[in-house]
Chains A and B, each alone.
Chain A
Amino acid sequence: MQINHDLVRGLERLLGRDRVLSSREDLLLYEYDGSVEEARPQCVVFPRSTDEVLGIVRLANQFKTPMVGRGAGTGLSGGALAREGGVMIVFSQMNRILEIDYENRRAVVQPGVVNAELSRAVAHAGLHFAPDPSSQKACTIGGNVSENSGGPHTLAYGVTTNHVLAMKLVMPTGETVSIGGAAVDAPGYDLPGLFVGSEGTFALVTEITVKLTPLAEAVKTLLAIFDSIDDTTETVADFTARGITPAACEMLDGWTLRAVEAYVHAGFPLDCAAVLLLEVDGVRESVEAQAKDVAEICTAHHAREVRVARDAAERDLLWKGRKNAFGAVGRICPTYYVQDGVIPRTKLPATLRRIEEIGKKYRLEIGNIFHAGDGNLHPLIMFDARDAEQFKRVVSAADEIIQYCITAGGAITGEHGVGMEKDRLMPLLFSEAELGLMRSVRDAFNPAGLLNPGKIFPSGKGCGETRIRPLPIAGSASR
């Protein structure tokens, strides 16, 4: 797409030249996010207020130019890429915490506030923002809202939508609207429920009112070590069946574990088939008992060893291993493709067996590191970017895994979003009529289709086509 110089000049008049990027080398950085997709915007702008966002949207409308919002660009489905070019609105300078109401446990933040920063800001009062994506040191709350992000602790605490009360929006038609309310049960349809997770296709979010959650009085982190994948997945299924909900229940298989250990040196065993990283929390009196229950179930399913982190430092090290796992894998194998399918927890053992078979069938190395307690899989398919034939096998294997998830009663994405990466898979879950209804909801808010076009819905091109491409060096990526 050609640069429209009049539009760029208009944006420069609005924001000043230092907050508008339009040179080729400046734009290069914004071609990517955390996914395997790429697309180049015409220009990138950095607003500092709702009014400036409004001005940008009005200009984009005037020039009939597409626009897309972006936080830190850590997304894993191309949600914040300018698929059809146009203006990319980056919220990194709208990064202020506007208000913290400790008594009522609410905060009002701008969309560019980094997830972990909010938790850090309220930690002294024993509070935190519960959704904790693995990228939380970089990702923004605006991005979390767009994607309805989850994380390891969402098993017990819920995903982003469970923690958003109200939002200020700039509609793509050039008006501001406030939805929801600081008090619960705002009358009317649940607009925050609809807008959270709409992947930036309805509106741009410029203020978010979130709930703050008390930190648990006591926490225990356990590492259960298994010699068989089956035993590991059976353990998770058994937790669920017995109604035991740990605060977090993460699985890392041996392959990824060895990559992680080489990177973070957390003392993970190098010779096991898989581990479960488990956390229990609550009042002091309940945590001991929960930890005991959890350990007993692990042992009953032949865990070789169940370690309990002795202190906060040990706990942090274990979590560092989990949260930097993708980066660690990237050090060993620079190109991989990660999926995000979800299955009922009862199907976990069968699904992991199926993934292993698929890996063998296509002669591919597939690592598994995921939110086991939620049934949210993240198979990592390793490949060599230079090998086109191998890459075809990667796509076939990935499709077969997702197909299996759907057959098992699951979904194609648990937390990463559809974006421009999984749009072609949507017809596997939704009928033409259902997709039509969802499209018309988008069109009701985004009638000219200028906001974040080309996302979520299949483009209608031949389904043999895929844009999945090798990931560039992912050594610093973290998710």
Chain B
Amino acid sequence: MSAPAKIAASRLADIVGEQNTSLEPSELAAYQAGGVTPSGVARPGSAEEVAELVRMAGAENLALIATGARTKLEMGLPPQRYDIAVDMTRLDRVAAYDPGDLTLGVEPGCGLAKLQSVLAEHRQFLPLAVPYFRRTTVGGTIATGVDSPLRQIFGTSRDYILGMEFVTGEGVAAKSGGRVVKNVTGYDLHKLMIGALGTLGIMTKINFRTFPLPAESRAFVARFESSKSAFEMRDRVVESPLAPSTIEIFSPQAADLFASEAAARFEARPIAGDLLSPKHWAFTSGFAGNEAVLARCERDLRAMAERCRATGVTVLGQDQIAGAFGRKREFLPIALESSVATAVLKIGVLPRKMNEAVTIAARSADEHGVRWAVMARGLGVIYFVLLPEARDENARGRVAAIAENIMAAVAGLDGHATIPWCPREWKSSLPVWGRTRGDFSQMAKLKKLFDPRNILAPGRFVGGL
């Protein structure tokens, strides 16, 4: 045990109680982030305890990472320092739910699936169909900024988070925004916490706008010979008056990933029948509304698919979607388990440039002999997954070359790319956060302001913030 951790041991217990503190190496291993194991874990039961922990850490110069279900601690760069895991799972209350107002305040340690079931009792939901759905916490979902296919119509969490309470790196408990659906009182500081990997503050409460569950919904799948046709289908649908709730495009390899043994660990029910085929690109889309709307959507989508030369079309009814298609949500976790050295590139481009970006990426991966798969979202986000056969220097070199090619290409398409996941020992030599941005110095100002001692997840974020 290192010297600073010894000091922390009794201090942790003072703040959160003996029973909510652990220094057991066997337990601490589960809190590893980017290969770094903390010296202690504290499970605060209130925002005040979180603030006290942060102040203590500041005084003792200890680095903290707030954790939830610990499903995404490998994202970003490894922390430069990591002494104490602040396990937020005791802060799991649904603090204020006003179904009549469609607003919700929830503590970050609350499981997302549990929260969705509370909302479902009132026929409401949050449009967060995110990876690790059954395990992840609300706070982990927001802090990592993982996205949901429902962003097609509902936007991302920044569009429906109304406010937050959080503790800054100086141990100041603060809030911004509020609980009402429209509010311009004060600066929107809470937007900074979304996707920041806990580098600016530790969230202690998140206020959301909730949404009514649709009366009826269906899923539409069309299969194509080429990526060009699948993305052309996307363009036609987006140009049409239909307003689908999701649009996703999968490459042929995705079918194999979804059918793998690894996939069953995340979602028991396999993807039904011939929905996805290892020979075809798939365009999938969800839509909701009354019977007349659904009939119109199906008719129009079939006609569009035909014009885009689809080789097959399947429509799933509401009762079939969760069973037949639940695995789709877990594409990233499944991909991470499908190779010893999976690297995920997240590419953002203008929507009409998606096929070009995918084509360049696929060509580069093929040239370097690395297996790949794609999941793309209709709004211009591509998850390009590289699945090397080995986790060695040779594979690293090939992945680095592909990433470099992709980053150069998307920069020319007004886009950007990052590598949210890859083997941790590669991170120091891969452009994990992409190319340096012109606004980095403004971000650095914010980090310095919110966390002047650099004790909150130091080094995990963009440019080593």
* A residues whose Cβ falls under 8 Å from a Cβ of B: 101, 103-106, 147-148, 150, 154, 158-159, 161-162, 177-191, 193-194, 196-198, 214, 216-217, 237, 240-245, 282-286, 289, 342-346, 371, 374-376, 409-418, 422, 426, 429-431, 433-434, 437-438, 440-442, 444-445, 456
Query: When the two chains form their complex, are residues B186 and A418 in contact, meaning their CB atoms are under 8 A apart?
Result: yes
Bound-complex Cα distance A345 to B99 (A): 10
Known: A187-B416, A194-B188, A411-B183. A286 touches B290 (CB 8 A): yes
B462 at the interface (CB under 8 A from A): yes
Q: When the two chains form the complex, which single residue of A162, A179, A371, A438 contacts B159, counting CB atoms closer than 8 Å? A: A162
- Chain A residues, Cβ within 8 Å of B241: 214, 216-217, 283-284
A-B contacts, 30 listed (Cβ < 8 Å):
A179-B439, A181-B414, A184-B381, A185-B346, A187-B433, A188-B437, A188-B443, A188-B462, A189-B446, A193-B188, A193-B192, A194-B191, A240-B100, A240-B101, A243-B124, A282-B289, A342-B178, A342-B182, A344-B98, A345-B101, A345-B102, A346-B101, A374-B182, A411-B185, A414-B180, A415-B182, A422-B185, A441-B189, A444-B446, A445-B445
- Cβ of B77 under 8 Å from chain A: no
Closest residue of chain A to B447 (Cβ to Cβ) is A189
Task: Tell me whether B41 is interfacial, beta carbon within 8 Å.
Answer: no
Selected from B180, B379, B446, B462, the residue in CB contact (under 8 A) with A409 is B180
Contacts of B145 in A (CB 8 A): 185
Residue of A nearest to B357 (CB): A183
- State how many angstroms separate the Cβ of A181 from the closest Cβ of chain B: 6
Residue pair A375, B181 in contact (C-beta under 8 Å)? yes
Q: Are B289 and A285 closer than 8 Å at their CB atoms?
A: yes
Which residue of the partner chain, among B191, B433, B445, contacts A444 with CB atoms under 8 Å? Answer: B445
Chain A residues within an 8 Å CB radius of B348: 181, 183-186
B434 within 8 A of A: yes
Tell me the smallest distance from the CB of B456 to a CB of chain A, in Å: 13
Across-interface contacts of A186 in B (CB, < 8 A): 348, 416, 437
Chain B positions 166 through 182: 1 when the CB is less than 8 Å from some CB of chain A, otherwise 0? 00100011111011111
Q: How far is the CA of A194 from the CA of B189 in the complex (A)?
A: 6
| Stretch of B193-201, B363-371, B389-397 on the interface side | B193-201
B268 within 8 A of A: no
Within the complex, what minimum Cβ distance (angstroms) separates B8 from chain A? 25
What distance in Å separates the Cβ of A144 from its nearest Cβ neighbour in chain B? 11
Do residues A426 and B186 form an inter-chain contact, with CB atoms below 8 A? yes
CA distance A194 to B106 in the complex (A): 22
Other-chain contact of B183, A243, A413, A456 (Cβ < 8 Å): A413
In the assembled complex, how far is the CB of residue A39 from the closest CB belonging to chain B, in whole angstroms? Answer: 21
Nearest Cβ in chain B — how far from A300, in angstroms?
A: 16
Q: Are A445 and B433 in contact (CB under 8 A)?
A: no
**CB-CB nearest 9 A-B residue pairs:** A243-B212, A193-B191, A217-B241, A285-B292, A183-B348, A344-B101, A346-B100, A241-B100, A414-B182
Smallest CB-CB separation from B155: which chain A residue? A162
Contact pick for B174, options A188, A376, A433, CB 8 Å: A433
Known: A194-B188, A441-B189, A444-B448. 17 other contacts (CB 8 A): A104-B350, A186-B348, A194-B191, A194-B446, A240-B100, A283-B293, A286-B289, A286-B292, A286-B293, A375-B182, A409-B179, A413-B185, A417-B184, A430-B186, A433-B174, A445-B442, A456-B186
Q: Is the CB of B289 within 8 A of A187?
A: no
Is there contact, CB below 8 Å, between B380 and A178?
no
Q: Is there an interface contact between B159 and A342, defined as CB atoms closer than 8 Å?
A: no
Interface string of B359-393 (1 = CB under 8 A from A): 00000000000000000000111000000000000
- Contact of B445 with A437 in the complex, beta carbons under 8 Å: no
Known contacts being A240-B101, A285-B296, A344-B103, is A194 close to B192, with CB within 8 Å? yes
* Residues from chain B with Cβ under 8 Å of A148 in the complex: 184, 188
Q: Given A186-B416, A283-B242, are A344 and B182 neighbors across the interface (CB < 8 Å)?
A: no
**Total interface residues in chain B, CB < 8 Å:** 79
Closest Cβ–Cβ distance, residue A345 to chain B (whole Å) = 5
| B window 96-114: CB within 8 A of A | 98-103
Query: Using Cβ atoms and an 8 Å threshold, which residues of chain A touch B103?
Result: 344
User: With A and B bound together, what is the CA distance between A418 and B185 in angstroms?
Assistant: 6
Residue ID in chain A nearest B162 by CB atoms: A411
Q: Which chain B residues border A429 with CB–CB below 8 Å?
A: 178, 185-186
Name the residue on A nearest B124 (C-beta): A243
Q: Is the CB of A177 within 8 A of B439?
A: yes
- Are A237 and B100 also in contact (CB < 8 A) when A283-B289, A375-B182 are? yes
Asked if B296 contacts A183 (CB within 8 A), the reply is no
| Residue B123 interfacial (CB < 8 Å) | yes
Q: Which of B155, B185, B351 contacts A104 (CB 8 A)?
A: B351
Which A residues touch B346, using CB under 8 A? Answer: 185
User: Given the complex of chains A and B, what is the CA–CA distance between A440 and B180 in angstroms?
Assistant: 25
- Whether A343 touches B180, Cβ cut-off 8 Å, given contacts A191-B442, A194-B189, A198-B187, is yes
Contacts of B440 in A (CB 8 A): 188
Residues of A within 8 A of B179 (CB): 344, 409-410
Q: Is B438 an interface residue (CB 8 A)?
A: yes
Residues of A close to B175: CB separation below 8 A: 430, 434
Please, how many angstroms separate the alpha-carbon atoms of A463 and B446 in the complex? Answer: 31
Contact A197 B188 (CB under 8 A): yes
B192 partner residues in chain A, CB cutoff 8 A: 189-190, 193-194
B415 on interface, CB distance cutoff 8 Å: yes
The chain A residue sitting closest to B173, CB to CB, is A433
Contacts of A346 in B (CB 8 A): 98, 100-101
For A181, what are the chain B residues with a Cβ–Cβ distance below 8 Å?
348, 414-416
- B418: interface (CB < 8 Å): yes
Tell whether, in the assembled complex, residue B446 and residue A197 are in contact, meaning their CB atoms are under 8 Å apart: no
Q: Is B83 an interface residue (CB 8 A)?
A: no
- Using CB atoms, name the residue of chain A closest to B296: A285
Chain B contacts with A in 324-359, Cβ cutoff 8 A:
346, 348-352
Whether B449 sits at the interface, judged by CB under 8 Å, is: yes
Complex Cα spacing A411 to B188, Å: 13
B181 and A197 within 8 A (CB): no
**Which residues of the partner chain B approach A184 to less than 8 Å between Cβ atoms?**
348, 379-381
**Cβ of B322 under 8 Å from chain A:** no
Determine if B243 is an interface residue (Cβ-Cβ < 8 Å). Answer: yes
Question: Among the listed B147, B182, B200, which residue makes an inter-chain contact with A189, where contact means beta carbons less than 8 Å apart?
Answer: B200
In the complex, what residues of B have CB within 8 A of residue A343's CB? 180
The docked-state distance in angstroms from the alpha carbon of A191 to that of B379 is 20
Q: Is there contact, CB below 8 Å, between A414 and B184?
A: yes
Identity of the chain A residue whose Cβ is nearest the Cβ of B445 in the assembled complex: A444
Do the beta carbons of A433 and B172 come within 8 Å of each other? yes
Please tell me which one of the listed residues B196, B414, B446 contacts residue A183 in the complex, with CB atoms under 8 A apart: B414
Q: Which residues of the other chain, B, contact A422 by a CB distance below 8 angstroms?
A: 185
CB-nearest residue of chain A to B377: A184
| One of B184, B191, B439, B461 near A416 (C-beta < 8 A) | B184
Residue in contact with A185 in the complex, picked from B100, B292, B381, CB distance below 8 Å: B381
Q: Let me know if A191 and B439 touch, CB within 8 A.
A: yes
Contacts of B172 in A (CB 8 A): 433, 437
Chain A hits for B379, CB < 8 A:
184
Q: Mark B388-428, 1 if CB is under 8 A from A, else 0.
A: 00000000000000000000000000111010000000000
> Which A residues are CB-close (under 8 A) to B434?
187
With A416-B184, A430-B186 in contact, is A190–B158 under 8 Å at CB? Answer: yes
- Give the Cβ gap from A166 to chain B, nearest Cβ, in Å: 10
**A245 surroundings in chain B (CB, below 8 A):** 212
Cα distance, A240 to B241, chains bound together (Å): 25
**B326 to A: closest C-beta gap in Å:** 24
